[in-house]
Amino acid sequence: MFNENLKKLRVQHKLTQEELAQQIGIAKSTISMYENGKRQPNFETAEIIADFFNVNMDNLIRREEIEGLIDIPAATTGVMIPVLGYVRAGVPMTAVENIIDYEEISKEDAAKGEHFGLVIKGDSMEPRFAEGDVVIVRKQETVENGEIAVVLVNGDDATVKKFYRSDNGIKLVSTNPTYDPFFYTPDEVNSLPVQVIGRVVELRAKF
């Protein structure tokens, strides 16, 4: 199908949705809708996409033929992981509507556990992490004090913070000094709950 082939070609050419959109002169949101199968390109746009990737337009929409059109050795050097726009309790990491892009990690890193990317929102982790940057996260339920963790509070959107645990509870600290730390008592940790879902292992800044 066109949406699967488009995503495969983009990822194997190591392009983000935004970069592809800029290259071919259409909106990033349109690329996203194409890849989610929510919209189909007209003939002219399909031709532009096929020309950009140097593939036959007829084959672009045929899932069974696209494999033979891609010859990019670098595409097999690592493992592609999904980049998520948000994380909520109970939402699978591979939920199609939640995937906004892909990043590549080494096979060695992939062997250490399940990974996903997460887009930074807001400025609470500046200057190290800026809004729009992508952090690579290894899924795990515990982290050491002082490590940067992805934490779910009350099942809402994940927050990225420095993590500290003591007998008095859990403290989540921003690197931006204008933000006060969040503190949760042991009762709040259990009742809200406060849940570590991963450790940030890499930052990929976006310019």
Task: Name the residue with tokens 């939402």.
Answer: 91
Q: Determine the Cα–Cα distance for residues 123 and 178; give it in Å rounded to an integer.
A: 10
Whether residue 161 lies in the annotated active site: yes
- Residues 157, 136, 203: CA angle, nearest 5 degrees: 105
Q: Determine the Cα–Cα distance for residues 50 and 145; give it in Å rounded to an integer.
A: 50
**8 Å CB contact between 204 and 135:** yes
Q: Which of 119, 140, 139, 142 is nearest to 131 (CA)?
A: 119
Q: Which of 7, 8, 124, 162 is catalytic?
A: 124
Please give the structure tokens belonging to residue 29: 């949101």
Please give the structure tokens belonging to residue 30: 């349109």
Q: Which of 7, 161, 162, 174 is catalytic?
A: 161
**8 Å CB contact between 202 and 150:** no
Please give the structure tokens belonging to residue 160: 């990225």
Instruction: Show which residues are catalytic.
Output: 124, 161
